[in-house]
Structure formats: C-alpha cells, structure tokens
Structure 1
Amino acid sequence: MRKLVNLFLFSFLIILPGINAAAQLVYDNKVYQPNIKTVECYKTDKEQSLPIIILKSAETITLAFDDLKGGNKNYNYTIEHCTYDWKPSRINKLDYLETFDEDIIFKYRFSFNTLQKFTHYELKLPNEQIKPKIAGNYLLKVYEGNNQNKVILTQRLYITNNAVNVGVEIVPSSGVEFRTTKQKVNFTIFHPMNIVNPNMEIKAIVMQNNNPQTSILNTKPTFVKPNSLVYNDINLNEFWGGNEYRKFDTRNFRYKGEHVQDFYRDTTINVILVTDQPFGNARYSNQIDENGNFFIRNQEGRDNVTDSDYADVLFSLNANPPTAKGNAYVVGRFNNYILDENSKLDFEPSRRRFYQNIKLKQGLYDYKYVWVDEDGKYNDTIFEGSFFETDNSYQVMVYYRKPGARWDELVGFSNLSTVRN
C-alpha cells in the first residue's frame, strides 16, 4: 500500500536542556533566527543541487548563509546521523565520525556597497575537522559559540556509499482519469547484498523537485527477483505533474526585471511583483524554469555574494480562498518549502487577493502557491494546475539496515528529470 510521507510530519522535535519552546530543534531544513537569511546547501560542484555526496570521495557539500546583524560572530557546527525518516539514530559519535564532533566556521565576508549590511558565512563538508565515517542521513546544525542550545539553522545532508544501483523511469498515471495530470515513478533496485527480508531491511523514498512535502515512502517491493527489487505497483509513486514554476528576476535595481511591476527605495529596497493569477487546469505555462531553485546574482556589482542587496519583495495572488478555512503559502527552494508564518499569505477580501512581503537577496527565483486546508491537506495544484507535460525532477533514495544493525545506511541514489518533447 502506498504511504504518502509528509516529511514535515517526520520532522522530529527534541527540546534540548535549557532551550525554550520557540527554539525547539527540528530535524528538518530550518532557520531559527530572523537575522539569518539566504541559506544555501548543495553539492559543491552544482549550485542548488541536492546536498548529496559519495562517502569517502573528493566530493563536498557547501553551506552558505547571511547574518543581517553583520559583524563577526563565532558560529560553530556539527553533524548528527539520522534514520531514514529523519529521527536521531542515537548512536555514538564514534560510530559515525572519523574526526572531531564540532568546529568553527572560519570563512566569512562582509557585504559591500549594499543598503542592507550583512556578513556572509560559508563552509564545506567533509573537511579535516568534520568527516563522516558511515553513509546515511545527517543533520547539520549551526549554533552560536559552543552552545548547542543556541541553534541558528539546521540542514539535511545525504551521504551515500552507492552500494546499490537504482534504475528509474517516469510514465503516465495508471489511472485513465489522471493520464494528463499525473506522473508515475517506477524504479528497480539492483543490489549485491543478501537481502532476506526486503520489507524490513529496505526503505525507498521518492521525492519530486527536492521538495520533502512531496515524499512517498516505499516499504514493500512489487516483485522480488535475484539481486533486484522492483517497485512498479499500479498504485505506487504517483505525483501530480503540477505546472512550471513562476519566477521573477531582481538582479538589477535600476530597471524592472522579469515579473517585477515596480520597485522603490526608502530605508530599504522594496520590490512589487506583478500580481499573479491562478492557472488552474485550463492552462499549462510551458516556460523554462529551475524546478523551484533560486540563484543569487546581481548585474551591478562585481561579486554575487557580497554585492547583492536585499529587498522586501511583495508577492500577491488574485484569488479567493478555495475552501472556507485554510491558508495559502508561497514556497520554493528559497524557503525550503517550509509552511510557516513567514511563507503564509494574508488575505484581503476587498481586493480579492492574497499577499505577503518576504525579504530576499538579489537574484533569480522560482516559486509557486500552495493551499493547506483546515485538515492540513497540502494542495500544490489548486492555484497552479497539473499537467503530465510539466518538467519535474525526481529523486529516489534507498536506505538499508542490516539485520541486527543500529542505523540506516543510504546505499543508493538516483536523480531523473522528465524529458521535454
């Protein structure tokens, strides 16, 4: 039976000693302080890619963020091994770390010629101070000084040992009524291990566009063959195709970029985006997007990192609430698809519109609107529509727990994009 895994629900809360309720540690991509902005975490050789690397290889993961308070703070970091569903593995650090268990972020730069002053911090993992020993999910924690109760951000990292190969194909929905609106992911795990009970030993997660809100957990293969597990059940791994992401361009504050209606300066820079209209199922946008990603860029300075300024960006959607109770959100990789007060839209009945101001750094941004009803049902098609033709990327992650083992290993990963005709 298909299990829809909302990794928002998987986020495991732990109240650390001395930490208040407002700063509970969440095993998810999360920012805990309002002065921390533009968190980027990706495989170093491909900007904005999923932060996944091969164990004991030369590959690294880059973490970067801005502190709008400026100055120079002592930010420390550590990593913690997690289960396939992002709960703490609770194994000894000696089991998953070859080196020390924490270090200081030494690399930082100050903003230059910007209205909003900030300090940019950056680090790469693994390094000589922090190096994982085993494959699996890891939570990266950044905190002030040596006090792990003062967490400023957490990010999910993936370390794989590539012990298995994963073959993936994307096909139309098995249901005739969804052939034009859904995409189905079938995959096969090719493994060399002696897997006695795949239902217990193997967990496979499929995700669309690196968005945890879309994740589906697979615990039972459709067919078990010699050295391969096939997952192609008629009811498994069907995703709404959605629509191409909306986007805007704020690389330059001297002229209006794509989807920018106006901008002005007072104590801050303010950008007003063109009011969006719901697409619905009658319209496929057929535009090139970045599958929800964002890229920090500017056309006025010499350095994208330090010379890009911040602006209060006004999003607005011309639509009525689709149900009597619920909330609309604007999401993308820029806010890790997190549904919180910062991404929630206010509704103005007299103008029949949703709106929200979000402080964002100069660059190119993908985004979309989602609706969450009073029962917590996540719907990212009600404002955007859904089409099989939509270009999406799919990630398949395979976890293996050996009989008698105390942790889950990430043993395989595959990333596949739908192909434009």
Structure 2
Amino acid sequence: MSKCEEAITNNTFLSKRIKIASFLAMTMLGLISLSSTAQPYTDQTFQPQIKTVQFYNAAKENSLPVITLNSAEQLLLSFDDLSTNSRNFSYTIEHCDAAWNSSRISPTEYLQSFTEDRIMDYRYSVTTLKKYIHYELTLPNRNIAPKLPGNYVLKVYEDGDPNKIVLTQHFYVVSSRASIQAEVVPSANVALRQTNQKVNFQVDFAGMAVQNPYSDIRVLVMQNGRYELGQMNTRPTFIRGSSLVYNDIAINDFPGGNEFRHFDIRSLRLNSEQIGRIFRDTANTVLLLTDQKRGQDNYLFQYDNDGGFFILNQEGRDPKTDADYARVYFNLAASGSSADQEVYLVGKFNNYRTDAQSKMEYDATRGRYYYNALFKQGVYDYEYVMLNSNHQPDISTTEGNHFETQNTYQILVYYRPPGARWEELIGFRQISTVGR
C-alpha cells in the first residue's frame, strides 16, 4: 500500500470514528433516540410467561406508584416468571412528559447515579402445582435514583439488551411545589346528572415564577389511576392571583361507571363468593358463576378495590412464593348479542387492555361470552367492556354508569420551567367520591 493510499485509509477510518462518536454524543444529549418506539409509553407486559405484575408505593399495596422527590419513599415492583430457569433481567428508567412521550434528554440530566442495573432479588415458588420464579425490585435505590420531578417509565429487559423488553410501568415523582383544592360534584349537564361525576379544582402556585400559566402549566385528571380515562387540562377556566381555577361546565366530567365485579381465590379448597366449582389435579381450575349484564340495573353498592387486585393465600405463609396459579373461566350471559359485538374482560391485572389477549369468545347457540386466563391466588376486580363505534372502551351496556359509584380521582399538575426541555410534576392530590 502506498503512503497516499495509507493516508486515505487512515482518514476514512478516522472519519468513521468521528461520526460514531458524534452519534453517541448526540444520543446522550437526547438529540437522537436509539429506540424505534414513537408511541407513548404504556403499562404493558411483552412476554406471555411474565405474570402478576404489581407496582405501587411500598407504603400501601395497590396504591398509585407516586413518590416525593428526595424523600424516603420507595416503590415496589414485583412479577412472576413462569419459565423454569432464572433469567438475567436488567432495568432502567426514563423521564417522560405529561403525555408519556420520552422527554428526549440525557440520562445524566434526570438520574443521580447509574443508567441501568440488574434485578438481583428473586425466589423460587414452593409447594405450588404451577412453578414460577418471583422477582422484586425497589426504587429508588443506591444504583438508580431520579433527580428531576416528573413522569417516569420503568423498563425491564432481558440479558442487558434494551431491545428484549419484558415490561414497562409508569410511575410519578412529585416535588409538591403547588397546592391543590378539589371536590367531586354532580355533572353540570342535566342529562348526565344520574350517570356522571364532575371534578372541580384549584391549583395554587404561590412562590413560583410562572411566566405564562396558559402555556407553562397543564393538569391531568385521572379516574382510579387510569391514564386512558384521564382528561388533560391545558388552560384554566380563569386565573385569580396565583391560583388557577378549573371549573368550566364542559371539562373534567367523567362517567361514574359501576362498582367493579370481583372474585376471590384466596383458597383453592373452599368455594367463595362467585366461585362455581374448583378442580385440583395436575393443575388448578376455577369455574366462576355466570355474570349478567348490568347496563339497565339500578345502582347497588358493593365494596371493590377500584379495579385493583391483592395477592393472598389462606393456606400459605408467604403468598409471594406459595400462592398457586389457577386457570379461571368466566362467562357472561348476553342473549340477543351478535358476533360483531366484541366484549373484553379487563382490570388492573391486565392493565385494562382491550386486545387479543383479553377478548372474549361469543357462543351464539348459548348466548354467552367466554374467557379464561391464569391468575395467581388472591382477590381480583374486573369488568366487561365493549368497543363503541370509535373503537373506544364502553361499559354503559355491560356495566352501566351511576353517579353514586365510589371512585378515586388523581390530579397531577405539570410545569415546564422557562427554557427547559422537560416537564416537571409539581403537584399531586387524590380525592375520593366517598368524601364528597
């Protein structure tokens, strides 16, 4: 090779290294995303052998995963892997905006320490017919801790490869710089007074240098912690000093829904409410009693967990590892329905997803919908939903809507500081219709 050819080769190699270094630098700055996912993040499980995902504030099971920045509060993630061998699971967190799109900023801007870590806490099931491995993770910890308030998504993946995603879960880190006053009242629309609940609230940002509240602040109101049912408020009804008032007649008006149905499989030896029969052989099988549509029924109070579930085992000592799995069979009486009326069974156990995994099968000869899935022992809330003409979940036919239904509402206040490339969560409050 001549000196000229050698110089050209070296320059080409150097040019490639400069391009690679530039690409990596831009990636770290959030200017280029290595992820091909353009859709907002959702609570989702991507592998069928991953079951019973729970993520909540460690102080209270089944609570919304919210913690205060730089406090002693922690979140607890747990899930089961039905695979026979332990696997190498890693995790990271990513800062998001109020709509769960990536903030596209460098991890060094929102993380105090490392950018990823391994899940080291796992245990094998004991005395169960269905074998599984139980994994747990607490956040923040010495290796992963947020330093900015805001929305975050927790991502768990396999073998250190972010492309082998296992699950994603939302959580919230709040700085509590804004105070919130709120109330739940009957709908201002007379036609909806018997079915809807309206949330009026006021946000006080005294002490904050908010230049333009109409563009710098937006507020999300959720029902029972469900983002898909949330309503985003981008402009207040009016401003009173340092307070933003949101009470317009047309905003934050929610269908009340109905109290969730539930089933109890804490024991697989004795039938409890809603349990028809239990079979125990090489596997556990549970047949539930037939459910009826409630769309035309009057409101009837019953205790529920607002769609959530609790893992419990009456015959064991530690339900994390000695609660067994059972295949649970559901059936919904729906005479007069047709095959084109799609019905889905949803709850917190499947992140309320209306997809192929939650779709029920319709038997026209019997006039019933059928569904079955694996559930770990415990108490579960669930409901039946249909898709309306806009392909949105609708429970008015299968469950009904009532103003009297007991729901919790979450109010989250987001603020974009001047010149910042991210949104911060500066206020959070949860209220219940019970105290209205």
* Class of the TM-score when normalised by the shorter of the 2 chains: over 0.9
Offset of residue 180 of structure 1: 1.2
Query: Is structure 2 residue 121 aligned with structure 1 residue 107?
Result: yes
In the alignment, which residue of structure 2 is the partner of 1:63?
77
Indicate which of 249, 263, 278 corresponds to 1:248. Answer: 263
Counterparts of 2:393 and 2:74 in 1: how far apart (Å)? 33
Offset of residue 418 of structure 1: 0.8
Q: Which moved more, 1:265-274 or 1:177-186?
A: 265-274
Is the Cα contact below 8 Å between 1:297 and 1:304 reproduced in 2? yes
SS at match of 2:221: strand
Counterparts of 2:302 and 2:97 in 1: how far apart (Å)? 38
Query: Is structure 2 residue 341 aligned with structure 1 residue 316?
Result: no
Offset of residue 346 of structure 1: 1.1
Q: What letter is aligned with 1:28?
A: T
Q: What letter is aligned with 2:122?
A: Y
Offset of residue 375 of structure 1: 2.8
Please give the residue correspondences for 1:74-89 in structure 2 after superposition, counting only pairs within 5 Å.
Answer: 74-89=88-103
The count of corresponding residues between Structure 1 and Structure 2 is 403
Is the Cα contact below 8 Å between 2:55 and 2:169 reproduced in 1? yes
Offset of residue 285 of structure 1: 2.5
What is the identity percentage for the equivalent residue pairs of Structure 1 and Structure 2?
48
Counterparts of 1:320 and 1:74 in 2: how far apart (Å)? 49
Counterparts of 2:373 and 2:348 in 1: how far apart (Å)? 14
Identify unmatched segments of 5+ residues in structure 1. Answer: 1-13, 18-22
In the alignment, which residue of structure 2 is the partner of 1:341?
356
Q: What letter is aligned with 2:284?
A: I
Counterparts of 1:335 and 1:65 in 2: how far apart (Å)? 13
Residues 324 and 188 of structure 1: CA distance in aligned 2, closer, same or farther (over 3 Å): farther
Is the Cα contact below 8 Å between 1:398 and 1:413 reproduced in 2? yes
In the alignment, which residue of structure 2 is the partner of 1:35?
49
Offset of residue 281 of structure 1: 3.5
Offset of residue 321 of structure 1: 7.2
Q: What letter is aligned with 2:197?
A: Q
Please give the residue correspondences for 1:159-170 in structure 2 after superposition, counting only pairs within 5 Å.
Answer: 159-170=173-184
SS at match of 1:290: coil
Please give the residue correspondences for 1:392-411 in structure 2 after superposition, counting only pairs within 5 Å.
Answer: 392-411=407-426
Query: Is structure 2 residue 340 aligned with structure 1 residue 296?
Result: no
Counterparts of 2:320 and 2:81 in 1: how far apart (Å)? 12
Q: What letter is aligned with 1:56?
A: N
Is the Cα contact below 8 Å between 2:338 and 2:364 reproduced in 1? no
Counterparts of 1:283 and 1:330 in 2: how far apart (Å)? 22
Query: Is structure 2 residue 111 aligned with structure 1 residue 97?
Result: yes
Residues 205 and 237 of structure 1: CA distance in aligned 2, closer, same or farther (over 3 Å): same
Q: What letter is aligned with 1:254?
A: R
Moved over 3 A (4+): 14-17, 23-26, 320-326
Please give the residue correspondences for 1:255-294 in structure 2 after superposition, counting only pairs within 5 Å.
Answer: 255-294=270-309
Query: Is structure 2 residue 186 aligned with structure 1 residue 172?
Result: yes
Residues 131 and 266 of structure 1: CA distance in aligned 2, closer, same or farther (over 3 Å): same
In the alignment, which residue of structure 2 is the partner of 1:209?
224
SS at match of 1:90: coil
Deviations 1:269-314 (A, max 9, x none): 1111111001123321211111111000011111111110001111
Is the Cα contact below 8 Å between 2:40 and 2:99 reproduced in 1? no
In the alignment, which residue of structure 1 is the partner of 2:86?
72
Offset of residue 344 of structure 1: 1.2
Deviations 1:162-187 (A, max 9, x none): 11011110000001121111100011
Please give the residue correspondences for 1:222-237 in structure 2 after superposition, counting only pairs within 5 Å.
Answer: 222-237=237-252
In the alignment, which residue of structure 1 is the partner of 2:135?
121
Is the Cα contact below 8 Å between 2:415 and 2:425 reproduced in 1? yes
Offset of residue 319 of structure 1: 1.3
Is the Cα contact below 8 Å between 1:246 and 1:368 reproduced in 2? yes
In the alignment, which residue of structure 2 is the partner of 1:379?
394
Residues 349 and 257 of structure 1: CA distance in aligned 2, closer, same or farther (over 3 Å): same
Offset of residue 323 of structure 1: 7.6
Report the TM-score when normalising by structure 1. Answer: 0.92
SS at match of 1:188: strand
In the alignment, which residue of structure 2 is the partner of 1:135?
149
Q: Comparing both structures, which one devotes a greater share of its residues to helix?
A: 2
Residues 121 and 321 of structure 1: CA distance in aligned 2, closer, same or farther (over 3 Å): farther
Residues 113 and 25 of structure 1: CA distance in aligned 2, closer, same or farther (over 3 Å): farther
Counterparts of 1:379 and 1:271 in 2: how far apart (Å)? 27
Counterparts of 1:361 and 1:282 in 2: how far apart (Å)? 31
In the alignment, which residue of structure 2 is the partner of 1:9?
none
SS at match of 2:292: coil
Q: What letter is aligned with 1:94?
A: T
Counterparts of 2:368 and 2:242 in 1: how far apart (Å)? 55
SS at match of 1:282: coil
In the alignment, which residue of structure 2 is the partner of 1:157?
171
Is the Cα contact below 8 Å between 1:326 and 1:373 reproduced in 2? no
Q: What letter is aligned with 1:172?
A: P
Offset of residue 24 of structure 1: 9.3
Residues 61 and 376 of structure 1: CA distance in aligned 2, closer, same or farther (over 3 Å): same
Offset of residue 194 of structure 1: 2.8
Provide the alpha-carbon RMSD of the alignment.
Answer: 1.8
Residues 45 and 294 of structure 1: CA distance in aligned 2, closer, same or farther (over 3 Å): same
Deviations 1:1-29 (A, max 9, x none): xxxxxxxxxxxxx9947xxxxx9986110
Is the Cα contact below 8 Å between 1:325 and 1:373 reproduced in 2? no
Is the Cα contact below 8 Å between 2:339 and 2:364 reproduced in 1? no
Residues 382 and 420 of structure 1: CA distance in aligned 2, closer, same or farther (over 3 Å): farther
